[in-house]
């Protein structure tokens, strides 16, 4: 029997698994798809306090989120780094004094260590904005590779003894009296999607961290208890050719009360998002609509001199966020805070509602706080100062210098890209490679066989899609023939493993 069965391999499930395993609990995490394959890889890629949440008085959420920026900058400097945001002042919307007051709160609600304060600015004719935007503000938040954040937490959980089982469905689960402990426990039937093989797992406690499927699983686990009202909100993003020079992101106000981000992405591109609209149906089938594309381009076009048209979109993605329904008609104003519900009947069950990527670690800590009544002997909190795998270095710049000296035969651009994915795990990726030829076949876009093999061996990648869109973003640069070649290679490797 294990202590904890975590169902759901998004950022919350992976974060809880890592925290629990590090406290000495025996943990199994199962995920029906790829790790981070749904909502957690479809975010705006930000670790941020949520400037606009101040307008709805969510001060606790903003304070907690701001504090987590510093924690994650320390824990994962390879996949989290500072990003400056420019907020053009729209004269017909919020007055300057209101924005200035909000930014003052944003700067001071939590202690800043690594990030500079906000300030006002004047736009020049050389800036990418239209001439009517003469003034604005600049402030700090952080960028994150969201899908890799999930994988690194799963790796951290595994390093502490957890069993990570992607592409594994919880086929059936019920509670019964354990003859040894004389306590009610869960018995789950887990089925490997690829092989069809089933195994039974007994767990003292279950975590329902299935994101937009939380209500569906909740009804299976506790059919006599209606789950909390969950509101599904779809957010969509588009990726276009790079719109401007410079590394600053832009946050654009809109008359409907929403904001749209324009963010430098993968050097050659700009990421534009997000939309927010209520969603019904299967969350895995969420896709961008023509109306969402029109909305994102229209908002962006109202600010920028040059905006690509729909024909230039190189990629788009959509995700469904499970939020607690507070009755607000406007989906963008529904709280991004999280709620945890612990039930002891028929057996211990903790259900995770809501949440955002920025606060996943605090959510996991809160989950463990609640579970102390179930596991009174578990160890204390530990993740505040912990580094995620590959994050044991101080700056990307210094690591680049060190690794360039260690591997002088590696191209600098490739080394920089790998640092932002793997940090010090680059040495594991390279293995015994001594020359460029040792990296094996190049599938295109600097994606080499040795990296693909590492991802399949160490990071649970199974398909070309896992590699192109979640473990790396090489799908943006690979052509159809190169994608097909990568697909054949991954399929062949999976067949050999089977």
Q: What is the mean pLDDT of residues 62-81?
A: 97
- Residue pair 58/335 in contact (Cβ under 8 Å)? The answer is yes
State residue 496's pLDDT score. 86
Closest to 265 (Cα-Cα) out of 253, 254, 273, 276: 273
- Residue pair 212/188 in contact (Cβ under 8 Å)? The answer is no
State residue 52's pLDDT score. 87
Q: What is the mean pLDDT of residues 429-441?
A: 97
E strand or H helix that includes residue 496: helix 480-497
Give the number of other CB atoms < 10 A from CB of residue 109. Answer: 18
State residue 326's pLDDT score. 63
pLDDT score of 498 more than 90? no
State residue 55's pLDDT score. 87
Q: What is the mean pLDDT of residues 302-309?
A: 96
- CATH homologous superfamily for the domain 396-497: Alpha-glycerophosphate oxidase, cap domain (1.10.8.870)
Between 31-45, 203-217, 314-328, the lowest mean confidence (pLDDT) is in 314-328
pLDDT score of 403 more than 80? yes
Q: What is the mean pLDDT of residues 308-325?
A: 93
pLDDT score of 329 more than 70? no
Q: What is the rounded distance in angstroms from the CA atom of residue 323 to the CA atom of residue 233?
A: 7
Q: Does domain 2-39+148-229+335-371 have CATH number 3.40.50.150?
A: no
Q: What is the DSSP letter of 304?
A: B
The 10s digit of each residue's pLDDT in 161-183 is 999 999 999 999 999 999 988 99
Q: What is the mean pLDDT of residues 264-272?
A: 97
Residue range(s) of every CATH 1.10.8.870 domain in the chain: 396-497
pLDDT score of 48 more than 80? yes
Residue range(s) of every CATH 3.50.50.60 domain in the chain: 2-39+148-229+335-371
- Residue pair 264/270 in contact (Cβ under 8 Å)? The answer is yes
State residue 206's pLDDT score. 98
State residue 86's pLDDT score. 98
Q: What is the mean pLDDT of residues 316-338?
A: 75
> Count of alpha carbons within 13 Å of 413, Cβ hemisphere only?
5
What CATH number belongs to 81-143+231-328? Answer: 3.30.9.10
State residue 230's pLDDT score. 84
Residue range(s) of every CATH 3.30.9.10 domain in the chain: 81-143+231-328
Q: How many residues does the chain have?
A: 498
With a pLDDT cut of 70, the percent of the chain lying above it is 97
- The pLDDT mean for the chain works out to 95
State residue 449's pLDDT score. 98
Q: What is the mean pLDDT of residues 187-213?
A: 97
- Whether the full predicted model's pTM is greater than 0.85, yes or no, is yes
Q: What is the mean pLDDT of residues 264-290?
A: 96
Q: What is the rounded distance in angstroms from the CA atom of residue 137 to the CA atom of residue 258?
A: 18
- Residue pair 292/305 in contact (Cβ under 8 Å)? The answer is no
CA distances from 182 to 176, 185, 188, 204 (A): 10, 9, 18, 11
- Residue pair 3/162 in contact (Cβ under 8 Å)? The answer is no
pLDDT score of 333 more than 60? no
């Amino acid at each position: 029997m294990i202590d904890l069965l975590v169902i759901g391999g998004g950022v919350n499930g992976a974060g809880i698994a890592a925290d629990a395993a590090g406290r000495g609990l025996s943990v199994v995490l199962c995920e029906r798809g790829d790790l981070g394959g749904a909502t957690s890889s479809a975010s705006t890629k930000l670790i941020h306090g949520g400037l606009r949440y101040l307008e709805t008085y969510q001060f606790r959420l903003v304070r907690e989120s701001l504090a987590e920026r510093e924690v994650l900058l320390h824990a994962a400097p390879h996949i989290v780094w500072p990003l400056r945001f420019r907020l053009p002042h729209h004269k017909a919307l919020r007055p300057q004094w209101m924005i200035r007051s909000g930014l003052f709160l944003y700067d001071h609600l939590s202690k800043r260590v690594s990030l500079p304060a906000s300030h006002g600015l004047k736009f020049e004719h050389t800036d990418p904005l239209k001439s009517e935007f003469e003034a604005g503000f600049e402030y700090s938040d952080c960028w994150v590779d969201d899908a890799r954040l999930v994988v690194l937490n799963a790796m951290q959980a595994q390093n502490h003894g957890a069993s990570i089982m992607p592409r594994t469905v919880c086929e059936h689960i019920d509670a019964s009296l354990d003859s040894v402990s004389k306590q009610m426990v869960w018995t789950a039937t887990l089925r490997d999607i690829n092989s069809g093989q089933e195994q039974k797992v007994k767990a003292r406690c279950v975590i329902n961290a299935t994101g937009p499927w939380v209500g569906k699983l909740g009804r299976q686990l506790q059919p006599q208890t209606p789950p909390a009202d969950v509101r599904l909100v779809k957010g969509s993003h588009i990726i276009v050719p790079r719109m401007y020079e410079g590394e600053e992101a832009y946050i654009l106000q809109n008359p409907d009360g929403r904001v749209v981000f324009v963010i430098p992405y993968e050097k050659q591109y700009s990421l534009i998002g997000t939309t927010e609209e209520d969603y019904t149906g299967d969350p895995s089938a969420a896709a961008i609509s023509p109306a969402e594309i029109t909305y994102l381009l229209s908002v962006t076009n109202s600010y920028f001199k040059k905006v690509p048209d729909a024909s230039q979109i190189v990629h788009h993605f959509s995700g469904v966020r499970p939020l607690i329904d507070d009755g607000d008609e406007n989906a963008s104003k529904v709280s991004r805070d999280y709620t945890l519900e612990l039930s002891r009947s028929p057996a211990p069950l903790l259900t995770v509602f809501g949440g955002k990527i920025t606060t996943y670690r605090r959510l996991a800590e809160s989950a463990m706080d609640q579970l102390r009544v179930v596991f009174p002997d578990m160890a204390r909190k530990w993740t505040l100062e912990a580094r995620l795998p590959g994050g044991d270095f101080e700056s990307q710049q210094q690591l680049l210098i060190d690794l360039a000296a260690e591997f002088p035969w590696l191209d600098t651009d490739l080394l920089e890209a790998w640092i932002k994915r793997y940090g010090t795990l680059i040495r594991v990726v390279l293995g015994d490679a001594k020359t460029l030829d040792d990296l094996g076949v190049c599938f295109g876009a600097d994606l080499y066989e040795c990296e693909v093999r590492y991802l399949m061996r160490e990071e649970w990648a199974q398909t070309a899609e896992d590699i192109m869109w979640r473990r790396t973003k090489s799908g943006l640069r690979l052509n159809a023939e190169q994608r097909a070649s990568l697909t054949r290679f991954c399929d062949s490797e999976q067949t050999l493993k089977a």
